Amino acid sequence: MITRKLTLVVMLLVSMFAKAQNNVKLPFYELPEYPESYTAGTVAGRMVESLGFRYYWATEGLTEVDLVYKPNNDVRSTSETIDHIYNLSLVVVNATLNKPNSKNDVEMTFEEQRIQTLLNLQEAANILNASDDISQYKIIFGTNEIPFWNEINGPIADAIWHCGQIASFRRSSGNPINPKVDQFNGKVKP
């Protein structure tokens, strides 16, 4: 409980600071330089960093019109998709912290949720990049421990999928992603 409260305080401070400073960059504005060696940890970490980069730009500059957009009544709105990605980011970071997953009842604004999602992904990527053995990280639901393999094809791949969905939805609602974003290189063109 204290950890969740501390996380919320930090998140709110980051949010207030980001609003006060126009040039503050949240995690994943650009991808960090890649590691010199390939290990299971650095590859998994890069996957999470790539997710963070795509999420950053899929959600950067969304408007209220974008957030409520959905192509039809059979799909989630952009806002509902962002909620889902936030919950997936919790599963990703909890696995790297070896923490069980629990129901999330914290109410947040879009901007607070965006910041916390990026922070979750950064924490997970940092842990993975420093790890020699990623098999120690399990997705924990109650008494079930699920291997890291499911982290890759489950929440990480699912969240990447949904970032593309947000990108498509925002284009449909008239607010496409910044054309200077270079997804291949993980940079923003000048």
Tell whether the model's pLDDT for residue 69 goes beyond 70: yes
Beta bridge partners of 100: 140
Please name the helix (run of DSSP H) or strand (run of DSSP E) that holds residue 145, with its range, or none: strand 144-146
What is d(CA 31, CA 53) in angstroms, rounded to the nearest whole number? 6
Tell whether the model's pLDDT for residue 157 goes beyond 90: yes
Among 80, 52, 37, which residue's Cα sits nearest to residue 166? 80
Mean pLDDT of 6-16: 47
Tell whether the model's pLDDT for residue 23 goes beyond 80: no
pTM: 0.86
Structural domains in the chain plus CATH codes: 39-188 (1.20.120.450)
3-state secondary structure of 113: helix
Q: Does residue 95 contact residue 151 with C-beta atoms inside 8 Å? A: yes
Q: How many residues does the chain have?
A: 190
Q: Does residue 119 contact residue 11 with C-beta atoms inside 8 Å? A: yes
What is d(CA 173, CA 24) in angstroms, rounded to the nearest whole number? 27
Class of residue 189 by CB neighbours under 10 A (exposed 0-12, middle 13-18, buried 19+): exposed
Model confidence at 184, pLDDT cuts 50, 70, 90, reads very high
Beta bridge partners of 161: none
Q: Does residue 15 contact residue 117 with C-beta atoms inside 8 Å? A: no
